């Protein structure tokens, strides 16, 4: 409540410089929306706003320029979209070259478990890659070691935009049994997306192993990344752009002649 009050007071003093440090970490969604709205108002009135945050979506939408500090030193400075991408790359915990589409994990993440070992991204030809076309198949192969014999474990995949917005979440409970490989064995969980519905852009993948009651026993943030290229998904020469939304729908229009209604 102190942080909320401090922001409200500072924003209404009409300052020349407004320093806002992680204000979005407190308050509900309505307050956060008001904060961004007020900062936008004072910025348009000529105030310089220094906005410190780890909320990539807010930074991308509000700040034209971003500075990233890594271990107390300048890491990147420039256009927000470019700096956000560099920051997210620096946060990725993989040992494989990101361009290959094969990601290997060697360290522990959230939780005590060390179950998720590898991720492979494959296209329609079975090639391991990070480049995909809109509307084409995409397959994720996740290698899991030493799962418990408990039938309550599930493998989770979360896809997010490069700016941090969560796009979708999929897990093995949705249309199959729980993951329940015995200890000492490897299990491959395969997720197939027949027609990738995402519009063009860069995307990140989080991986998790979830256990009922206990929650996530392992969760790897930024476990992998891939890029979606534009394509003529409707076969009409019209290309759906990234600024038109995150998804395109496999839909069809029909236009027919109709009788005009009678005049009164």
Q: What is the pLDDT of residues 193-226, one digit of tens each?
A: 999 999 988 899 999 988 877 888 889 988 999 9
Is the same domain home to 168 and 226?
yes
pLDDT of residue 53: 84
CA dist list (Å): 240 to 25, 87, 161, 232, 248: 35, 28, 17, 8, 7
In a domain, 13, yes or no: yes
pLDDT of residue 207: 94
Look up the CATH number of the domain holding residue 57: 3.40.50.300
Is the same domain home to 151 and 191?
yes
In a domain, 263, yes or no: no
| Domains in the chain, number | 2
In a domain, 244, yes or no: no
Is the same domain home to 106 and 57?
no
In a domain, 6, yes or no: yes
In a domain, 189, yes or no: yes
Is the same domain home to 227 and 157?
yes
Is the same domain home to 36 and 79?
yes
Work out the average pLDDT over 80-101. Answer: 63
Is the same domain home to 70 and 150?
no
CA distance 157 to 130: 16
Residue with tokens 């990725």: 92
Is the same domain home to 225 and 120?
yes
Residue 7 buriedness (CB in 10 A; 0-12 / 13-18 / 19+): buried
Between 3 and 130, name the one with better pLDDT: 130
In a domain, 183, yes or no: yes
In a domain, 115, yes or no: yes
Per residue in 145-174, pLDDT (tens digit) is 876 655 668 889 999 988 788 999 999 888
Is the same domain home to 79 and 134?
no
Residue 32 pLDDT > 80: no
Residue 134 buriedness (CB in 10 A; 0-12 / 13-18 / 19+): buried
Between 242 and 122, name the one with better pLDDT: 122
In a domain, 76, yes or no: yes
Is the same domain home to 6 and 102?
no
Residue 93 pLDDT > 50: no
Look up the CATH number of the domain holding residue 189: 2.70.50.60
pLDDT of residue 44: 84
Residues of the domain holding 135: 98-233
Between 255 and 2, name the one with better pLDDT: 255
CA distance 117 to 100: 16
Per residue in 120-143, pLDDT (tens digit) is 999 988 889 998 988 999 999 999
Is the same domain home to 78 and 129?
no
Residue 67 pLDDT > 80: yes
Is the same domain home to 6 and 74?
yes
Residue with tokens 């296209």: 123
Is the same domain home to 168 and 205?
yes
């Amino acid at each position: 409540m102190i942080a909320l009050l401090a922001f409200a007071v500072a924003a209404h003093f009409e300052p020349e410089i407004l320093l806002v440090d992680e204000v979005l970490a407190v308050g509900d969604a309505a307050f956060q929306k008001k904060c961004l709205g007020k900062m936008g108002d004072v910025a348009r009135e000529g105030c310089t706003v220094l906005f410190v945050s780890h909320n990539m979506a807010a930074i991308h939408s509000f700040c034209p320029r971003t500075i990233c500090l890594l271990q107390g030193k300048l890491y990147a400075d420039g256009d927000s979209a470019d700096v956000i991408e560099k920051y997210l790359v620096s946060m990725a915990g993989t040992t494989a070259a990101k361009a290959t589409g094969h990601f290997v994990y060697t360290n522990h993440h959230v939780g005590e478990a060390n179950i998720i070992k590898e991720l492979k991204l494959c296209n329609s030809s079975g090639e391991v890659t990070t480049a995909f076309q809109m509307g084409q198949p995409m397959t994720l192969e996740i290698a899991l070691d030493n799962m418990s014999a408990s039938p309550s474990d599930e493998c989770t995949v979360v896809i997010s935009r490069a700016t941090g917005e969560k796009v979708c979440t999929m897990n093995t409970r949705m249309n199959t049994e729980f993951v329940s490989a015995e200890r000492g064995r490897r299990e491959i969980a395969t997720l197939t997306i027949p027609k990738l519905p995402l519009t063009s852009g860069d995307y990140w993948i989080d991986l998790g192993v979830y256990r009922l009651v206990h929650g996530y026993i392992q969760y790897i943030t930024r476990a992998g990344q891939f890029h979606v290229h534009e394509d003529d998904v409707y076969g009409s020469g019209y290309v759906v752009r990234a600024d038109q939304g995150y998804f395109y729908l496999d839909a069809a229009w029909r236009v027919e002649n109709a009788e005009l209604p009678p005049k009164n």
